Structure 1
Amino acid sequence: MAGTGSDPDLPGQFILDTTINNIPERWISERIGDWFLGCHPTLPVIRLIDEKGQAAGWLLGYAIDEGGRLLQDKDTLRVNNLIDGGESCEEEFTYRFGGRFLTIFAGSRWPRVYLDPCGSLSAVYCPHCKIVASTTNLIPYDDLTNGRVDLARELGIPYTNAMYPLDLTPRYHIFRLLPNHYLDLSTWQSVRHWPSGPIQGMIDVEKAIGIISAIVRRNIAAVTKSIPTYLCLTGGQDSRMLLACAKDVANQIELLTFSLSDDDVTTIDIAIARQIGKKCRIRHSVLPPREPTPEDLKEWMNRIGFSTGEVRGWQGCTMFRQADPAYARLYGVAGGLGRAFWSREYAMTDTVSPERLLDYCRAPYTRETLEAARQWLDRIPFTNASPIMDLFMLEQRIGCWAGVWPYAYGDDPGFTLFPMCHREVITTMLSLPAGYRRSGNLMRDIIQHEWVELLGWPFSEPIGSLKITLPVRRLWKMAGNVFRNPGSIIGGIGNQRPGGK
């Protein structure tokens, strides 16, 4: 059983503990002072040292430095000012990097854990056990850490796209560390470190496009230099923006598109991606649909500890096995921040309630969930609704969803990475004029700046013969549903009436 020194199948995962007993067999283990780090062999470990060469901690995962280099397993990095500087040195060091990673300062005057800007290498922690881990799987059960059975039942995971709200997890007394927070290993408190106040300044659009595209280009190039790379291309804006920024290394990537049975969205994705690949002479592969096996479904959810809902990814788990595990996968996660995806409907003077936050999570209103939402709202250093919802999207949707599901995949030596995951990219997107962000033009404008020919295809709309065949297919599907359930059309009409049930 995980958490008892056994050898669970949890690739890319880690545990930080005050005892070696909970580290799975055959995992790599290291020690600094009272802290034991255990990592699955597929997870890169970079050693951190202070100015005197003493062990200060670790950087785990796939970090890209300012020079465009993907750090490698067993690298050693020096952290300046740990001895003579202030506590901000840890944050300043961490957010020099892009990629999917976290830092652990176990041998510092300020023992802390920091996530990357998106929380894309997610972490949970148990204060009374004094354990930090990638998922709840690695934390042993005791009388205080049993499952939140009632909440889990109401969320309906894995059969829904619901999310555990904010720092709640499937188990009591185990909490998720959110993006923009560090975990103080001396007090076991999560502390918000960014933003410390309203995000200042209003950046010029052209300047913002230059900053974002340069960092995304650098991150993509760093990955392609190190490992064969899939760019996961859909029909949407965010992945196409990644492709635009990959123009200089297009001959080193392979476009990858997923297919789910009887799914209009992936049908459109495939048609657009196939044409782009052909026109731009980039290799393009489509993973054909495969019925998920019970074993794969169980493994997918077990690896993430049933910590979030992601129906399409879960149902596609057997299909994903057709991809080459030696390839890195690049996804366009975080682009929604640039077009105010969760905040566009809010005026600055609106109020955000705990209940509204829970609605986004598809979570019930319980004493526990409402308290988690209230506490989160109380700790935000501003009251304007629009930036609150931007922050909520970053910390909930990205940190508690996109930071979790990559653990489901056992790629080796491949890995998942979000090229937009960089503090300067996040800050720049959130500093754009509100009207421009709400226009949704940022990704389109970056594409025009980097590779204008990619605007020759619509975003997520049928092309070619699909303009005719998809509507016909939808009508046939609707007719089949009515035939199988004649009462559904009556119920559907009733639901559209005022007061209809």
Structure 2
Amino acid sequence: MLEAQRLWPYRPRLFAKAFRYQYVVSRQVEQIHSFARRTCGQWHIHSGKDLPACTLHDAQGRQFGVLLGIAVGPAGLLSGPQQHLPLDSTAADFWNHLEAFITDTAGRFAIIAESGGQARFYTDPVAMIGAVYDPLARRVAASPLLALDRPVVPNPKVDLDNVENHGGKISLFHTADKHVRRLNPNCYLDLRTFREHRFWPREDDSLDAPADPVEIYDRIYAQASFNIGAIAAAHPTALPVTGGQDSRLLMTFAKPHAGRIRHYFSHINNYATRRDAAIGGILCQRLNLRHEPLDKRDFSLPEAEVEKRRSIYHLTTGAPMPPPLEHLNGTANGLPENTVILRGHQTDLLRAVFVTRPQGLWDVINWQIRKLLIVPSNMFGPETAALFRDDFTAWQQSLNTPARSKAVDFLFLEVYYSSTIGAVFPGLWQHFYMSPFNSRKLIALSLSFADKHRVESVPVFDIIERFAPQLSDVPFDFEAPADLDALHGCEGSYGPMTRARRLAAIKRLTRALPDQASQTRPEEEQPAAAAGTA
């Protein structure tokens, strides 16, 4: 019996729901209520009742693996009972070709594959599918308590009181258990040895700045839009809309498939999110979409239900982490269960959110450990830095040449994200959260822009201006007035708030593609100042 089962205090039917998006990979058959089972060589893959799964076959029809989760490959969504990939599982270079395929694949997924006597486990670029392993029991799972068949051995580097009461993160590949490790998502796990090996980026990959940024914008837009269209065509899908940059990028990418997405919504938990929802409503108006504000004042949960959700979340994540607010105040109930919710994670690489120091300071360790929020920033000190210095150094030394050139971004991708959304997403059971931007191909394109431009959100503003000027006209949260009445009173006259940003983007786009300047947008969509009016 797995530890998650042993500790479960509720009915089995609720276990099936709580762990509906999780999985276990082991050498033995596990008896897990409601989980389906598939095999890959000598490995048994057990998956929750609502986690998509399919067997993978090569071009000759030979089964070589199992895919878990939602993934969009170069040719479209990987779905159905089985998928045939353009690979030869008996070829000497099979693993190279499989890894190239994985690099081009987006979503929230894991792949278990076997060929030539080797068995490997791969995940999406930040392991938002959830990926931890117990090297002693030879078991991989979405969360720690599914990896264990014994009680948790406390990890001396993890302060659970800090996690529960101060929002601290369990980072640098640690879990609450001393022996269970979180997988670096850009390494594969060798299932023979249970050792990690980096497969991306390859040593000869380049993350250099593009000669033509607009060509990269077009590639990013085409790929991200393709991914959203494939997902929304197959699953009931929702998109959160706010005043932020990542949300607006998703709306821009989703525009050709807007009718396929069933819900455009905003959670309202406080004044800041109420303001977000107001901007989100304006954005939806621009595209003639129905906006659903999910206001906490319209939802309520009995205290017993709140405590039950908190207790279940501690089991599904394997740590006493506080659940997201919308799952405690009931606003998450505003969407149908088992909806795929598209999130903007990895689009924030276009803003270089972790690049807050110059490259000359990237070998200085303490400030980078602080950014991982192992303890709140105001509680960080030399003791925390010293405790995790060896873990940080070991990770840093695992970076190859191209990864080192973007080391702080890889800290964000591999360490911060795997310990946050990689722990949180599998633990949330009402909806399936994922990013359609979560592909190594899109990440590499995003990282190719110069750090100084990303820090200023130049790619974000340019992409939105190029492909959705009607959304670019609406102020972002940092541009809009704090007062909601003032924001609504500005409808149709946002020019003073957005003009400088928009004109700068148009100038960059025109300079980059002078022969296509007229294609940047129709004349009537130019900002007011560009047309000579106030």
Q: Which residue of 2 aligns with 1:28?
A: 36
Q: Which residue of 2 aligns with 1:378?
A: 397
Q: Quick check: 2:65–2:111 contact (8 Å CA) kept in 1?
A: yes
**Residue from 434, 441, 446 that aligns with 1:417:** 434
Q: Does 1:335 align with 2:352?
A: no
Once the two structures are superposed, the pairs formed by residues 97-496 of structure 1 within 5 Å of their partners are 97-142=105-150, 145-148=152-155, 151-153=158-160, 156-197=162-203, 199-203=206-210, 204-253=212-261, 254-260=263-269, 263-289=270-296, 290=299, 293-306=306-319, 312=325, 315-316=328-329, 318-343=330-355, 345-363=356-374, 365=384, 369-382=388-401, 387-411=406-430, 415-461=432-478, 462-463=480-481, 465-466=483-484
CA distance in 1, matches of 2:49, 2:115: 23
Q: Quick check: 1:163–1:307 contact (8 Å CA) kept in 2?
A: no
Mean Cα displacement is larger for which, 213-222 or 302-311? Answer: 302-311
Q: Which residue of 2 aligns with 1:472?
A: none
**Residue from 76, 87, 95 that aligns with 2:83:** 76
Q: What secondary structure is seen at the aligned counterpart in 2 of 1:209? A: helix
Q: Quick check: 1:347–1:386 contact (8 Å CA) kept in 2?
A: no
TM-score (norm 2): 0.79
CA distance in 2, matches of 1:362, 1:384: 22
CA distance in 2, matches of 1:73, 1:299: 30
Mean Cα displacement is larger for which, 398-407 or 347-356? Answer: 347-356
Q: Quick check: 1:334–1:398 contact (8 Å CA) kept in 2?
A: no
CA distance in 2, matches of 1:176, 1:109: 25
Q: What is the percent sequence identity of the aligned residues?
A: 22
Mean Cα displacement is larger for which, 448-457 or 432-441? Answer: 432-441
Q: Quick check: 1:4–1:23 contact (8 Å CA) kept in 2?
A: no
Q: Quick check: 2:71–2:107 contact (8 Å CA) kept in 1?
A: yes
Q: Quick check: 2:201–2:402 contact (8 Å CA) kept in 1?
A: no
Greater share of residues in helix: 2
CA distance in 2, matches of 1:366, 1:348: 20
Q: Does 1:15 align with 2:15?
A: no
Q: Quick check: 1:113–1:185 contact (8 Å CA) kept in 2?
A: yes
Deviation by residue 1:388-407 (Cα, 9 ceiling, x = unmatched)? 11111111232221223222
Task: Return closer, same or farther for 1:354/1:102 CA change in 2, 3 Å cut-off.
Answer: same
Q: Quick check: 1:169–1:307 contact (8 Å CA) kept in 2?
A: no
How far off its partner does 1:150 sit? 6.3
Q: Which amino acid aligns with 1:19?
A: Q
Q: Which residue of 1 aligns with 2:514?
A: none
Q: Quick check: 1:147–1:172 contact (8 Å CA) kept in 2?
A: yes
Q: Quick check: 1:46–1:77 contact (8 Å CA) kept in 2?
A: no
Mean Cα displacement is larger for which, 401-410 or 11-20? Answer: 401-410
Name the Cα RMSD after superposition: 2.7
How far off its partner does 1:12 sit? 0.8
Q: Quick check: 1:23–1:38 contact (8 Å CA) kept in 2?
A: no
Q: Quick check: 2:58–2:89 contact (8 Å CA) kept in 1?
A: yes
Deviation by residue 1:122-176 (Cα, 9 ceiling, x = unmatched)? 2101111100000012122447x5132662335x224444222221111111011
Q: Which amino acid aligns with 1:324?
A: P
Deviation by residue 1:266-289 (Cα, 9 ceiling, x = unmatched)? 021111011222343201112221
Mean Cα displacement is larger for which, 232-241 or 113-122? Answer: 113-122
Q: Which residue of 2 aligns with 1:95?
A: 103
Q: Quick check: 1:2–1:137 contact (8 Å CA) kept in 2?
A: yes
Q: Quick check: 1:102–1:113 contact (8 Å CA) kept in 2?
A: yes
Deviation by residue 1:467-493 (Cα, 9 ceiling, x = unmatched)? 779xxxxxxxxxxxxxxxxxxxxxxxx
How far off its partner does 1:307 sit? 7.7
Q: What secondary structure is seen at the aligned counterpart in 2 of 1:391? A: helix
Q: Which runs of 5 or more residues in structure 1 are unaligned?
A: 470-501
Q: Which amino acid aligns with 2:309?
A: D
Q: What secondary structure is seen at the aligned counterpart in 2 of 1:403? A: helix
Q: Quick check: 2:4–2:145 contact (8 Å CA) kept in 1?
A: no
CA distance in 2, matches of 1:374, 1:357: 11
How far off its partner does 1:301 sit? 3.1
Q: What secondary structure is seen at the aligned counterpart in 2 of 1:276? A: helix
CA distance in 1, matches of 2:117, 2:284: 52
Task: Return closer, same or farther for 1:386/1:80 CA change in 2, 3 Å cut-off.
Answer: closer
Q: What secondary structure is seen at the aligned counterpart in 2 of 1:114? A: strand
